[in-house]
Amino acid sequence: MDDLAATQLGRERLRLEVALVDLPARAVVEDPLLPLGRLDVLSQGSVHDEELGRHASRLGEEPAAFELVQVSVEVAREDALECAVRERESESIGLDEAQIRETLAGGREHRGALVEPGDVSRQMLREESRAARDIERLRRRQRRERRGELVALLLPTRPLALLEAAPAKPPVVVLRCPCLVVRLHAPRVRPVLEAVPNFSEGRDEEVLDALRAALSGPARLLDVHVDADHHRSVFTLVGDETALVETLLAGVALARDRIDLRRHEGAHPRIGAADVVPFVPIAREDMERAREGALTLARRVGEELGLPVFLYGDLAPGRGPAFFRRGGPDELQRRIDGGELAPDFGPARLDDRAGGVIVGARRPLIAFNVNLRGELEAARAVAAVVRETGGGFPGVRALGLDLPRAGLVQVSMNVEDWEAAALHDIVARVEAEAIARGAEVLGSELVGLMPAGAAAAAAGAMLRIDGFDESRVLELRLLA
């Protein structure tokens, strides 16, 4: 049976003694759950007919190491862990297996009689079970040899409260049956950060494929959004600071070598081939890590790639990408030459082909566009009404853009505070303002990824469910 039915082995009635002696300090004793479908339920030391019929000559051989056993343990304030117990090739025995000895005694004696005198299996059958530390036996052969296959243990049914801070030497959890010791450790995996680099390329498939390859590791590439009218691509990556810096450095280097801004024509403003590279903390408390990662990348881009780098967001309060893009690369160089501003890293002159790079740390935002059928002036007027600086929604940046390849116009937005400005409210306002100006809303577009809370809020509003948020979504609750 391969379903999830399980038997709790630790609650068996033991005729002799529980095989837990000399427990380590701070040990927590737990009864493991083993899936029935993965076990061969045989009495200890029995001789299986298959072995007698096919492998009798091998009964005395030195056994191989233990099968790999993988155990997950949930501990309060600690991460789960997995640990393999495979150091010894002998088997410690201290259980009478819930009096199976009496139940199957006749069968075992009958099989034992078929074994030649002096065989190790006969000696094992006659040996008395004592404490685990007192008896060492050769590991019995399984009905099917499955070394190297993972055996799942479902442990525990409740959190283990250690009631004290983790000591320098990690505590242990002892499984009552089978006799395994699982070592605990402090959390090893740090929460990931997000990076959303924007490149000034949205048409050349060879360059886009090269960017995908460069940005595929060691950080994890989650999403790629390409827009030919914007002539821009947006990549979404996650990883720790080190993985993100190495991956992004490779992407910026490739963009420097493969993208030529002198031939670039696109609807979206830009000042570089690798135009903007933000580090984003998924958890608010990780903002300092995002700042450190962004600073490391900025320094290395300036020193190793020879590109001017400008800081923004949490690294340069009051400055956003628009502060540098105003007027394009030529205007930015004029401002540098005039002493109005200077790169934070790298040379004081923009690269002729690749321009500069804007690097920063910021909170998660939603890049969201609404496509209209109408005139460009209508899109620009709607953008002016909904953006924060025009008295619209807080944290909303908006532009009216022409999309000649699609034959449409667009209200392109960055929603920097989706909790203060809900997407469904923004779309409703855009639609009302567009209709008032003779334009028609055809659809909307998400650039990259968005927080689950924003999607849940929009769904709850459209369905008119009071109090609906991400906590009411099944899969998200299971991950919590």
CATH number of the domain encompassing residue 434: 3.30.70.670
The model's pLDDT over 349-371, given as tens digits with 9 standing for 90+, comes to: 999 999 999 999 999 999 999 99
Q: What is the pLDDT of residues 48-96, one digit of tens each?
A: 444 444 455 555 555 544 333 444 444 333 333 333 333 334 444 444 4
Last residue of a domain, one of 155, 183, 211: 183
CB 20 within 8 A of CB 29: yes
In a domain, 473, yes or no: no
Handedness of CA 321, 323, 327, 329 (dihedral sign): negative
User: Does residue 266 sit within a domain?
Assistant: yes
Residue linked to tokens 């299996």: 121
Instruction: Name the nearest CA neighbour of 200 among 139, 117, 265.
Output: 265
Cis peptide before 35 (omega within 30 of 0): no
Considering the domain architecture, whether residues 21 and 158 belong to the same structural domain is answered as yes
pLDDT in tens, 278-300: 999 998 899 999 999 999 999 99
Rank 39-43, 172-176, 447-451 by mean pLDDT and report only the highest: 447-451
> Domain with 220 in it: what CATH number?
3.30.990.10
**In the structure, what pLDDT confidence band is assigned to residue 14 with cuts at 50, 70 and 90?**
very low
In the chain, the number of structural domains is: 3
- The better pLDDT of the pair 407, 164 is held by 407
Q: What percent of the chain has pLDDT over 70?
A: 60
Asked whether residue 415 is assigned to any structural domain, the reply reads yes
Confidence at residue 23, expressed as pLDDT on a 0 to 100 scale: 53
Confidence of residue 384 (pLDDT cuts 50, 70, 90): very high
Instruction: For 169-212, give the DSSP string.
Output: S--EEEETTTTEEEE------PPPEEE--EES-SS-HHHHHHHH
Q: Pick 77 or 128 by higher pLDDT.
A: 128
pLDDT above 90: residue 336? yes
Say whether both 159 and 243 belong to one domain.
no
> Among the residues of 215-316, which ranges form H helices?
241-258, 287-304
- In the chain, % of residues over pLDDT 90: 52
pLDDT for residue 475:
83
pLDDT of residue 301: 98
Mark whether 329 and 436 lie in a shared domain: no
Q: What's residue 468's pLDDT?
A: 87
Question: Residue range 381-405: average pLDDT?
Answer: 95
Residues 336, 299 contacting (CB under 8 angstroms): no
Within this chain, do residues 195 and 107 fall inside the same structural domain, yes or no?
no
CA distance 112 to 117: 9
pLDDT score, position 256: 97
Considering the domain architecture, whether residues 225 and 346 belong to the same structural domain is answered as yes
What is the predicted pLDDT for the residue at 141? 45
Q: Rounded to whole angstroms, how far apart are CA atoms 478 and 451? A: 17
Helices (H), 311-358: 321-325, 328-337
User: In terms of domains, do 356 and 371 share one?
Assistant: no
The pair of structure tokens assigned to 256 is 């420097």
**319, 440: one domain:** no
Non-local (6+) Cβ contacts of 211 within 8 A are 199, 201, 233, 235, 251, 254, 255
Indicate the SS3 state at residue 251. Answer: helix
Find the Cα–Cα–Cα–Cα dihedral 74, 76, 77, 79, rounded to 10°: -10
Q: What is the mean pLDDT of residues 111-132?
A: 46
Q: Are residues 358 and 369 in the same domain?
A: no
Give the model's confidence band at 462: pLDDT under 50 very low, under 70 low, under 90 confident, else very high: confident
Higher pLDDT, 120 or 324: 324
Given this model, what pLDDT does residue 21 score?
47
In a domain, 391, yes or no: yes
Query: Final residue of a domain: which of 183, 217, 252?
Result: 183
pLDDT: which is higher, 59 or 165: 59
Q: Which of 74-88, 186-200, 345-359, 414-428 has the lowest mean pLDDT?
A: 74-88
Q: Quote the pLDDT of residue 146.
A: 44
The residue type of 279 is F
Same domain, 29 and 157: yes
Q: How far is it, in rounded angstroms, from Cα 397 to Cα 66?
A: 61
Q: Which of 95-109, 117-131, 415-429 has the highest mean pLDDT?
A: 415-429
The average pLDDT across 428-457 equals 94
Q: Which of 48, 55, 231, 268 is catalytic?
A: 268
Task: Report, as an integer, the average pLDDT of 269-273.
Answer: 96
- Per-residue confidence at 467, pLDDT binned at 50, 70, 90? confident
Domain contains 43: yes
Stretch 34-44: mean pLDDT? 40
C-alpha dihedral sign at 225, 226, 229, 231: positive
Let me know if 268 is a catalytic residue.
Answer: yes
* Exposure letters 32-69 (e unless 16+ CB within 10 A, then b): bbbbeeeeeebbbbbbbeebeeeeeeebeeeeeebbeb
Return the amino acid letter for 311: L
Asked if residue 224 and residue 135 are part of one domain, the reply reads no
304 and 384 share one domain:
no
Q: What is the mean pLDDT of residues 256-283?
A: 95
Let me know if residue 477 belongs to a domain. no
Of residues 243 and 16, the one with the higher pLDDT is 243
Domain edge (last residue) among 323, 345, 363: 363
* Structural domain includes residue 223: yes
Q: What is the pTM of this model?
A: 0.63
Is 420 domain-assigned?
yes
Higher pLDDT, 238 or 142: 238
Mean pLDDT of 138-159: 43
The radius of gyration computed from the CA coordinates of the chain, to the nearest angstrom, equals 32
Containing domain of residue 243, as a range? 190-363
CA distance 480 to 388: 34
Look up tokens 């005729």; give the residue: 15
Does residue 44 sit in the same domain as residue 129?
Answer: yes
Report the range of poorest mean pLDDT among 140-149, 338-347, 415-424.
Answer: 140-149
**Which residues have CB under 8 Å from 352's CB, separation 6+?**
262
